[in-house]
């Protein structure tokens, strides 16, 4: 039987809260192998933006919905997804997410409210009033039911059977009262206010963000997170890119500094000696927007899972061009909302002027024979990220192209233009560097021109009108 233990991480819903009650949300982590049980239920797509391998996959599970409430669940699950993805910074990256819903019927609708002696027979046996806190909604094992197979085990079995590629699992409880909890599994009621819990928990589960609470919690320990630190030297603060020089360090927790990033004391469940980036943030007060530093962490976390390029052609990275047909390179990109990704193309490190779209055409004739590196660089230049030493917001694709055209020097029959000047051409692919000469006696040859085009067709027009009959020849030096 897997062990269950408390995760010393809690979301406290305070200040400015629409529900007016201080609430501790305890998360639960279940360790051990997934329980083997017969999986039931069915999977329904509710947001499809691309391949599961290059998207963040949200999976929502139905709790307390009866067999006739499937449509209600799918609508509620869609609302949970929309509420999360309407919130900055997810709003910009909505197309980086997929979402699907697992419907599993409960015998009765709703959830347990033990404080009101109200009990429902539901599939995951969820309950409010966990550990004496009204809005703390959990599933077993918990203080009401220690049997893992009644709750967490069922979640794991369904996810393993129907959605093994999930990145974040959310249990939607068919109850209008505000409530939920976090940890390995996020639990939310269908109340729209509960979407705040989903957002806060996504900060933990996507980006490993820490809680910015400053109230003491003796059992809590652990390393610094992206948004918490003990560092007080301005030049060494990890979010220093966001701190303007005139902001005092540490930063007074007063209204003049409410809108700026600084170094505010109280974070990581420590009232002193631990610091957070902003006076307030979703990771401190559920219901607030994410601060700049937490937003940056979330965007980077999204880019750890989703690459900018969904696909590209040509598929292989080693190419040979033996014909003169133009070569077509193209990338298909994920697109953030309201901003365009920066794209540039390079051939042998030279930027191709004007090529800033998703495709590039290259002419083997224009390149000439040889080996070329063709590179596509894509970058998200969002202002939401200032510090990206790992280059998460950038992607580079490389192809090696060998142009191997058969080179034939074939002079066309000389002719005269209407004004009397002599014209002589060579069909493509004419070798670069061949020399065109003329002679009246086949003994003395006079150089007329050297072909400097790369394997293209060649044309020479004599400057004057020379009426002397002559022979013409072309040759490549050294051949």
For binding to Zn ion (CB under 5 A), which residues are involved? 227, 281, 283, 291, 294
Given the complex with Zn ion, which of 128 and 242 has the nearer CB atom? 242
Given the complex with Zn ion, which of 187 and 282 has the nearer CB atom? 282
Q: How far is CA 350 from the centre of its chain?
A: 28
CB of 230 to Zn ion, least distance (A): 16
CB contact set of 38 (below 8 Å; sequence gap of 6+): 157
CB of 99 to Zn ion, least distance (A): 25
CB of 276 to Zn ion, least distance (A): 6
CB of 47 to Zn ion, least distance (A): 26
- Is the Cβ–Cβ distance between 21 and 174 less than 8 Å? no
CB of 288 to Zn ion, least distance (A): 9
Contacts 24+ apart (CB under 8 A), 77-82: 77/46, 77/101, 77/172, 78/46, 78/47, 79/190, 79/192, 79/195, 80/170, 80/172, 80/188, 80/190, 80/195, 80/198, 81/46, 81/47
CB of 290 to Zn ion, least distance (A): 6
List the end-to-end C-alpha distance of the chain, in Å, as a whole number: 81
Given the complex with Zn ion, which of 281 and 374 has the nearer CB atom? 281
The number of residues in the chain equals: 479
Please choose, from the candidates 333, 299, 321, 309, the residue with its C-alpha nearest in 3D space to the C-alpha of residue 372.
321
Given the complex with Zn ion, which of 80 and 199 has the nearer CB atom? 199
Please choose, from the candidates 195, 227, 231, the residue with its C-alpha nearest in 3D space to the C-alpha of residue 208.
227
- Is the Cβ–Cβ distance between 128 and 111 less than 8 Å? yes
The number of beta carbons lying within 10 Å of the beta carbon of residue 147 is: 13
Given the complex with Zn ion, which of 124 and 206 has the nearer CB atom? 206
**Strand ranges inside 31-162, DSSP E:** 42-47, 56-63, 97-103
Given the complex with Zn ion, which of 155 and 199 has the nearer CB atom? 199
Given the complex with Zn ion, which of 96 and 213 has the nearer CB atom? 213
CB of 203 to Zn ion, least distance (A): 8
CB of 341 to Zn ion, least distance (A): 26
Sheet holding 359-362, edge to edge: 309-313, 327-333, 359-362
The number of beta carbons lying within 10 Å of the beta carbon of residue 176 is: 13
In whole angstroms, give the CA distance from residue 118 to residue 167: 33
Q: What is the DSSP letter of 226?
A: T
CB of 225 to Zn ion, least distance (A): 10
Backbone angles phi, psi at 297, to 5 degrees: -60, -40
Given the complex with Zn ion, which of 226 and 399 has the nearer CB atom? 226
User: Pairing mode, if any, of strands 4-13 and 97-103?
Assistant: unpaired
CB of 278 to Zn ion, least distance (A): 6
Given the complex with Zn ion, which of 83 and 295 has the nearer CB atom? 295
The tokens for 164 are 């093994």
Given the complex with Zn ion, which of 143 and 231 has the nearer CB atom? 231
Greatest distance between any 2 Cα atoms in the chain: 117
Helix then strand then coil, % of the chain, to nearest 5: 20, 30, 50
């Amino acid at each position: 039987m897997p062990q269950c233990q408390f995760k010393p991480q809690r979301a406290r819903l305070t200040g400015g809260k629409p529900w007016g009650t201080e609430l501790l949300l305890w998360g639960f982590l279940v360790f051990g192998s997934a329980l083997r049980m017969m999986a039931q239920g069915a999977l329904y797509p509710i947001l499809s933006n691309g391949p599961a391998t290059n998207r963040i996959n949200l999976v929502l599970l139905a709790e307390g919905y009866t067999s006739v409430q499937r449509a209600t669940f799918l609508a509620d699950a869609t609302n949970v997804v929309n509420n999360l993805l309407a919130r900055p910074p997810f709003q910009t990256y909505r197309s980086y997410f997929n979402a699907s819903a697992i419907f599993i019927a409960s015998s009765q609708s709703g959830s347990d409210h033990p404080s009101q002696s109200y009990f429902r027979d539901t599939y995951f046996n969820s309950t409010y009033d966990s550990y004496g806190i009204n809005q703390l909604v959990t599933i077993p094992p918990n203080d009401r039911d220690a049997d893992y197979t009644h709750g967490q085990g069922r979640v794991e079995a369904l996810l393993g059977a129907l959605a093994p590629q999930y990145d974040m699992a959310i249990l939607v409880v068919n109850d209008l009262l505000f409530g939920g909890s976090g940890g390995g599994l996020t639990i939310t009621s269908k109340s729209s206010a509960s979407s705040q819990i989903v957002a806060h928990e996504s900060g933990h589960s996507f980006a490993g963000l820490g809680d910015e609470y400053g109230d003491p919690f003796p059992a809590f320990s652990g390393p610094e997170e992206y948004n918490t630190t003990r560092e007080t030297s301005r030049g060494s603060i990890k979010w220093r890119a966001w701190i303007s020089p005139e902001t005092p360090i540490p930063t007074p927790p007063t209204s003049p500094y409410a809108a700026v990033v600084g170094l505010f004391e109280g974070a990581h469940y420590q009232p002193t000696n631990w610091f957070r980036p902003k006076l307030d943030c979703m990771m401190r007060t559920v219901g607030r927007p994410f601060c700049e530093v937490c937003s940056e962490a979330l965007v980077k976390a999204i880019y750890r899972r989703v690459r900018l390029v969904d696909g590209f052609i040509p598929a292989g990275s080693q190419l040979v061009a033996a014909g003169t047909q133009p070569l077509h390179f193209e990338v298909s990109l994920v697109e953030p909302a309201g901003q365009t990704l920066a794209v540039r193309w390079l051939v042998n490190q030279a930027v191709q002027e004007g090529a800033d779209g998703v495709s590039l055409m290259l002419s083997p004739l224009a390149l000439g024979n040889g080996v070329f590196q063709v590179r596509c660089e894509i970058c998200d230049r969002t202002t939401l990220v200032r510090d990206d030493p790992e280059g998460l917001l950038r992607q580079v694709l490389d192809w090696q192209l060998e142009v191997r055209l058969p080179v034939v020097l074939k002079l066309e029959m000389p002719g005269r233009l209407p004004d009397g000047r002599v014209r002589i051409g060579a069909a493509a692919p004419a070798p670069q560097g061949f020399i065109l000469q003329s002679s009246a006696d086949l003994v003395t040859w006079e150089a007329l021109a050297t072909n400097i085009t790369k394997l293209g067709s060649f044309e020479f027009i004599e400057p004057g009108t020379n009426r002397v009959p002559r022979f013409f020849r072309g040759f490549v030096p050294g051949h």
